[in-house]
Structure 1
Amino acid sequence: MTTQNAQTTTPTPAAQGSHFWVLTLELPGRAAMTQSSTYTPPVGATRYDAYQAIRQHVTAGHPEMERATTMFFALEPNQL
């Protein structure tokens, strides 16, 4: 008899960033997108610094959204 242990693919908290973010960008009348992930800001970073870094990260993967309007941005500590 062989027994297998269930394994999870959920990253451990240590493998995640210290903050959870959600960003929605829109090109009015053309396109909209929402992405989310985790992020660990550098020491001394401000909320504005984090927003700029996250927006740049998102638009690097979607250059067509570079001039999009930010419809929603949330950045919260990644713990319950």
Structure 2
Amino acid sequence: MTSQNTAPAVQQQGTHQWVITVELPGRAMETFYGTYTPPAGATRHDVFLGIKGDIALKSPDMARANVVFFALEPNQL
């Protein structure tokens, strides 16, 4: 008899999980999220600026958006 593993493959995730919501008042609001492993010595502010920069690259309209919410926490239970 042959057995199969039907469990989904586990994807590699970063050491930290982040969520950010940005808004262009009266026009649009978007929430982005993901995981990230910061380089050694990085600060919370470094990560914030990197995420904000990524958003600007992916959604140029949101480059000047106001940050309504930002969370960065260890990605473990």
Q: TM-score, normalised by structure 2?
A: 0.90
Q: Quick one: structure 1 residues 58 and 10, their matched pair in 2 at CA, closer, same or farther if it must change by over 3 Å?
A: farther
Residue 58 of structure 1 deviates from its aligned partner by 1.7
Partner of 1:7: 7
Task: Please say if 1:72 is aligned against 2:63.
Answer: no
Task: State the distance in 2 between where 1:56 and 1:10 align.
Answer: 28
How far off is 1:3 after superposition?
A: 5.3
Count of residue pairs brought into register by the alignment: 77
Map Cα deviations across residues 20-63 of structure 1 (whole Å, 9 max, x no partner): 00000000000000011001111101100000001111221000
Deviation string 1:1-35 (CA, Å, 9 cap, x unpaired) is 87543131442xxx111100000000000000001
1:1-80 alignment to 2 at 5 Å? 4-11=4-11, 15-80=12-77
Runs of 4+ residues over 2 Å off in structure 1: 1-5
Which runs of 5 or more residues in structure 2 are unaligned? none
Secondary structure of the structure 2 residue equivalent to 1:53: helix
Q: What is the distance in 2 between the residues matched to 1:9 and 1:56?
A: 31
Given the two structures, how large is their TM-score scaled by the length of structure 1?
0.87
